[in-house]
Structure 1
Amino acid sequence: FTGTEAFALLCTLFRIPADQYLLSTMYGWRQSAISEVVNWLIKFLDERWKHLLDWDHENLLSHKNLHMYGSAVCNQGAPLDTVFGWPDRTKFLTCHPSQHQQVVYNGHERAHCLKFQAIVIPNGMITHLYGPVEG
C-alpha cells in the first residue's frame, strides 16, 4: 500500500457501511492486509496527532463560551439566550450481520444501523455524545 492508498482505504472504511471482507472484494486486496494497514494507520494517526484529537471540554463548555453560544442562538431568533445547543440524532448504517442481526435491526427504517445522540453547539461541535445504541 502507498500512504495515499492506505489513507483512502481508511476513509472508505469509516464512510461506508462495509466490512473489511467487502472492501477486499472491492479493491482486490487480501482482508488480512486491509486489517493490518487499517490498524497500523489508526495507531499512527492517534500517536502522531493525539494533541489535536484530545477533547478540550473545559474550554469548550466554559461559562464565557456557554454565554457566547446562547447569544449566537438568540441572535438567530430564539426567544431565550440560555439555550446553547440542541439534540442531534444520527444513524450509521451497518452491513447485515451474519449473526444476531436483530440487535442492530431498526424496524422503523427497515435497515441495520447504530444510533447516536449528541448535543451540538452553534459552531457545529459535538459537546456530548451518547451511543452507539442498537438498531
Structure 2
Amino acid sequence: LKSLTNNDVYHLTRFTLQDLKRTSRLLDLPPTFSTPSGARLSDEEAFFLLLCRLAWPTRLETLAIFFPYSPGTISEAVNWILLFIYQNWDFLLHDFNSQLASKHLSTTKLDLFACKIYAKGAPLKACWGFIDWTIREICRLTRWQKECYNGYKHMHAVKYSAV
C-alpha cells in the first residue's frame, strides 16, 4: 500500500488514499489483526484488499499477483474484515431508529436531501435516493444462460444494484 500512488489506489478501489484511511478509522477497525493462517495485516491493508476485491470482478489469484499475500491469505483477510464490518455496523441496514442511523437518516435530513434534489431539477419532491446499477459482463454460460442474458446491453452479465 505504501508503494502505491493516490491515483493507483483510486483506480483499484474507487477511494482516494485519504478516504481509505479515514473510512478505516471511522469503521473502528483494530489497528492490526492476524488471519487464521497467521499472517498479520494492518487495518488499512485489510480494508484496501476488501475494496479491491469488491471494486473489480477478479479472482483472488489475480490480486495475489499485485499484493504480497497468497490467495488464501487475501481470502481470509477479506472474509475477516467483511465479518467485522457486518457484526459492528449491520444495525445501520436494519434499524433506522438507532442513534447513529437516526442522526444521518432522520426525517429532517431526508427532507433536506429531497429538497436539494428537487432544487436541482428533479421532478419528484420526495426523492432522497437513487437506484444505481452496474452490469459486469461475464462469459457465456452453458447452464443458466437465459437468466444471465441482459437484453439491454446484449450480453451475458451479472447485475448489481443499490440505493
Structure 1 length-normalised TM: 0.56
**Residue 76, structure 1, aligned to residue 120, structure 2:** yes
What letter matches 2:89 in structure 1? K
Higher relative contact order (CA 8 A, sep 6+): 1
CA distance in 1, matches of 2:116, 2:55: 31
Number of aligned residue pairs: 114
Which structure's residues are more often strand, by fraction? 1
Q: Structure 1 residue 90: deviation in Å?
A: 0.8
Q: Structure 1 residue 35: deviation in Å?
A: 1.4
Which residue of structure 2 lines up, in the alignment, with residue 31 of structure 1? 71
Which residue of structure 2 lines up, in the alignment, with residue 114 of structure 1? 159
Q: Aligned Cα RMSD in Å?
A: 3.5
What letter matches 1:88 in structure 2? I
Q: How does 1:1-135 map to 2 (within 5 A)?
A: 1-3=40-42, 4-27=44-67, 29-47=69-87, 49-50=88-89, 54-55=92-93, 57-58=96-97, 59=102, 60=105, 62=107, 64-77=108-121, 82-85=125-128, 87-93=130-136, 96=139, 100=143, 102=145, 103-109=147-153, 110-116=155-161, 118=162, 126=163
Q: Structure 1 residue 50: deviation in Å?
A: 2.0
Q: Which runs of 5+ in 1 are unaligned?
A: 119-125, 127-135
Structure 2 CA distance for partners of 1:97 and 1:28, relative to 1, 3 Å? farther
